[in-house]
Amino acid sequence: MQNKKMPVLYLAQAGVIAAIYVVLTFLANALGIGSMAIQFRFSEILTILPVLTPAAIPGLAVGCFLGNLATSPLGPVDWVFGTAATLLGALLCYALRNFKWKGLPIASSLMAVVSNMVIVSFEITCLGNGTTLSFANFGMKAFLLTALSVGIGELVMCSAAGLVLYHALERSHAAQRLFAAH
């Protein structure tokens, strides 16, 4: 009987994570901090959740896709590259979930930072000022400056705030209650 409940629980957890991700993306955009040179997207705090449940992997990817679909000025290119960066970060976060320093999954928290720094910065640099991806727009200096800008926001939200969320969920035992089946 337990095995039949697992897929339903997994899908429910993924769906809730996706929905929260979208709402937090809208909130950051409404406050004007989700589209600045250094973005502070509240939704990125959730990128630590693959440490607690594999259901967070599709939840984050779907949430990112839907959030970008509704809010990204970069259009379809961002729907693909932004979602790919989030998916890769979530997969790597999950893969490193057992590596902890002083009880914190610091390496896992850095996976979304790194994947977004590389993939999203490449995307933005190749877009230049348009919405058509072109390798002719790519320049190493622009890429590195964009990676720095993306990395600062991601480091604050994914690693600093994400680790605070992880610690709070673990300390309050909410993680065990919410994600016990995984």
Report whether pLDDT(105) > 50: yes
> CA–CA separation, 68 vs 161, rounded Å?
21
State yes or no: pLDDT of 179 exceeds 50.
yes
pLDDT value of position 3? 55
Percent of the chain whose predicted confidence (pLDDT) is above 90? 65
Question: What are 124-149's pLDDT values in tens digits?
Answer: 898 877 667 777 888 899 999 999 99
Residue 1 pLDDT level (bands cut at 50, 70, 90)? very low
User: Domain of 98: which CATH number?
Assistant: 1.10.1760.20
Q: Which 8-state DSSP code applies to residue 77? A: H
- The tens digit of pLDDT for each residue in 75-95 reads 898 999 999 999 999 999 999
**Which residue range(s) make up the domain with 155?**
2-179
pLDDT above 70 (res 2): no
**How much is the pLDDT for 73?**
83
Q: 104 pairs with which residues across the strands? A: 101
Sign for the CA dihedral angle at 109, 155, 172, 100 comes to: positive
Say what the pLDDT of residue 4 is: 61
Q: What is the number of H-type helices and E-type strands within the chain? A: 7, 0
Taking 50 as the threshold, does the pLDDT of residue 32 lie above it?
yes
Closest CA to 69 of 91, 86, 47, 54: 86
Domain total of the chain = 1
